[in-house]
Amino acid sequence: MALDGVAQCFERAGDVKHLRLHGDCHPSNVLWTDAGPHFVDLDDSRMGPTVQDLWLLLPASRADASRALADLLAGYEDFADFDPRELHLIEALHTLRLIHYAAWLVRRWDDPAFPAAFPWFNTQRYWEDRILELREQIGAMQEGPFWPI
């Protein structure tokens, strides 16, 4: 069901332009110095829609994210145009990130460093929380964008 919702979000967005992305652009991957921001951890760089590099900078709650998105898009549009149809992709990209992260951990679980670094992973509680989170994401994808298009 979650992947069906992702597909529907991409259908609603239509054919959006792709560009080179950081791919994992969240606040922990932006280091600030007196010279300004420096982006690190470029191993997820890829081609994709603009919103892929913007949504991870938003706060977790939809209400806070809606307010922050206005500022983020205003700043972004000082440099480039933003296609508002991409807003249909935010919850879909969030859902895909949740799935991808769990899969990333599963693929590496036999590495002895991973159980030590991620002791909470592969517990009953972890999977219960992921199921709940995916159910919430299905609802969020059905609600549509939290910002007017």
Whether residue 97 is contained in a domain is answered as yes
Choose among 88, 32, 102, 90: nearest CA to 58.
90
Give the burial class of 136: count Cβ atoms within 10 A of its Cβ; 0-12 exposed, 13-18 middle, 19 or more buried: middle
Percent pLDDT > 90 in the chain is 89
Q: Which domain holds residue 23?
A: 2-143
Structure tokens at 91: 């919850």
Based on the residue annotation, tell me whether 71 is a catalytic residue of this protein.
Answer: no
Whether residue 95 is contained in a domain is answered as yes
Those residues whose C-beta lies under 8 Å from the C-beta of residue 146, and which sit 6 or more positions away, are: 62, 65, 66, 69, 90
Rounded to two decimals, the pTM is 0.90
Active-site position among 15, 24, 44, 64: 24
Band of residue 149 on the pLDDT scale cut at 50, 70, 90: low
Rounded average pLDDT over 113-119: 95
Rounded average pLDDT over 27-34: 95
> Does residue 109 surpass a pLDDT of 90?
yes
Whether residue 31 is contained in a domain is answered as yes
Q: Domain of 79: which CATH number?
A: 3.90.1200.10
Whether residue 148 is contained in a domain is answered as no
Total number of domains constituting the chain: 1
Those residues whose C-beta lies under 8 Å from the C-beta of residue 92, and which sit 6 or more positions away, are: 5, 6, 9, 10, 141
pLDDT in tens, 118-144: 999 999 999 999 999 999 999 999 998
Based on the residue annotation, tell me whether 24 is a catalytic residue of this protein.
Answer: yes
> Does residue 67 surpass a pLDDT of 90?
no
Strand-strand pairing, 30-33 and 36-39: antiparallel
Active-site position among 4, 34, 41, 71: 41
> Does residue 62 surpass a pLDDT of 90?
no
Residue 13 C-alpha from the chain's centroid: 16
User: Range with the lowest mean pLDDT among 41-50, 125-134, 140-149?
Assistant: 140-149
- pLDDT score recorded for residue 13: 97
Give the burial class of 16: count Cβ atoms within 10 A of its Cβ; 0-12 exposed, 13-18 middle, 19 or more buried: middle
Whether residue 93 is contained in a domain is answered as yes
- pLDDT score recorded for residue 146: 76
> How confident is the prediction for the chain on average, in pLDDT?
94
Whether residue 149 is contained in a domain is answered as no
